[in-house]
Amino acid sequence: MKKVLGVSLGSSTRDSKVKVELLGEEIEIERRGTDGSVSKMMEIYQEFDGKVDAFALGGTDLYLYSGPSGKRYTIKESARIISVIKKTPVVDGTGIKYILEKGVIDYVQKNTDISFAGKKALVLITVDRFGLAEGLLEAGCQMTFGDLIFCLNVPIPIHSLRALSIWAKLLIPILANLPIKYLYPTGKDQESSNQKYSRFFVDADIIAGDYLAINRYMPPNMKGKIVITNTVTLQNVEDLKQRGARYLITTTPQFQGRSFGTNVYEATLLAISGKKPEELKPQDYLELAKKSGFKPRIERLN
């Protein structure tokens, strides 16, 4: 049996373990949260190094990009975390996120009656989700990128990828050197609610991005909205339903009711391949996903 372990700076209340069969391989997929503890995360990696087939880095990214084809910057603290890993390959989701998320938008348009054209879309944080942003833009959405709002607490919406790329080139070299806690909500901060910028949700028809960020900032009333995300639990789905959201679309597959993050999904595909991360390109991951029967989760909630 192949084993995949995702270790996250996020809350341990979201921990999960499932066993699935993909491409004839039985795989145990586990996610462990460390409630914001960097040291605990490093301890888990050290404990299981060489004992699992692939690690996933969660609650942070290893890299940030200044644009769809822009320069790659390494997040300093993330690199320090994975420096303790000597044997098991580790991935953070960036190897598959761009091509997978952009492809999901295309899949929804071709295989459902959901229309994106003309709708207002809010992508909360775009610098690690350019594929999702490009897909929605090409589908005819009126875009709002919330990076300054939800990353830097600056209430300035951005409406073009060109403008976002300019901001990214200026800020990412600085952000990559900050502690992770200033870049992403970690631990119990992920579970807290902040209604300060709920007006940006109210104005949008489509809410897209990491679910933990969506959960933190979304208003009580999400009536009629399309939510495009991942990393959702059964409780999260029920919460969205109670708030009135119309559709839930996840960009990673559902395993026993749980949609894991792209980091865990990439690690799963890596384990199946039996190869090293540097031996696989995004297109290779996509081919593996297709062979395993990947389809995005599309669920009508209301």
Q: Which of the pair, 155 or 295, is modelled with greater confidence?
A: 155
Predicted pLDDT at 245: 98
Distances in Å between the Cα of 128 and the Cα atoms of 23, 37, 149 are 29, 22, 15
Residue 290's φ and ψ, nearest 5 degrees, are -65, -45
H helices of 176-261, in order, are 198-202, 211-217, 234-242
The DSSP output letter for 232 is: B
Predicted pLDDT at 62: 93
Does residue 288 surpass a pLDDT of 90?
Answer: yes
Average pLDDT of the chain? Answer: 92
Q: Are 192 and 213 in contact (CB under 8 A)?
A: no
pLDDT band at 163 (very low <50, low <70, confident <90, very high): very high
Predicted pLDDT at 187: 58
Buried b (16+ CB within 10 A) or exposed e, 139-161: bebbbbbbbbbbbeeeeebbeeb
- Pull the structure tokens for residue 227: 């939510």
Q: Which residue has the tokens 């644009």?
A: 67
Q: Establish how many alpha carbons lie within 13 A of residue 243's alpha carbon, considering only the half-sphere containing its beta carbon.
A: 21
Q: What does the pLDDT look like over 204-220, one tens digit per residue?
A: 999 999 898 899 999 99
Mean pLDDT value of segment 128-148: 94
Residue 149's φ and ψ, nearest 5 degrees, are -70, -55
- Pull the structure tokens for residue 273: 């391949």
Percentage of the chain surpassing pLDDT 70? 97
**Cα gap 139→102, rounded to integer Å:** 10
The full set of domains in the chain, from first to last, is 2-95+256-300 (no CATH), 97-160+191-254 (3.40.50.720)
Predicted pLDDT at 190: 57
Q: Which residues contact 29 (CB under 8 A, 6 or more apart)?
A: 4, 6, 17, 18, 19, 20, 255, 260, 264, 268
Predicted pLDDT at 192: 67
Q: What does the pLDDT look like over 213-241, one tens digit per residue?
A: 899 999 999 999 999 998 888 899 999 99
Does residue 291 surpass a pLDDT of 70?
Answer: yes
Within 10 Å of residue 191's Cβ, how many Cβ atoms? 14
**Cα gap 260→91, rounded to integer Å:** 14
Which residues, listed in sequence order, are joined to residue 228 by a DSSP beta bridge?
208, 249
Q: Which residue has the tokens 């990947």?
A: 294
**Cα gap 76→221, rounded to integer Å:** 38
**Cα gap 273→89, rounded to integer Å:** 12
**Cα gap 145→127, rounded to integer Å:** 9
Q: What does the pLDDT look like over 90-110, one tens digit per residue?
A: 999 988 999 999 999 999 999
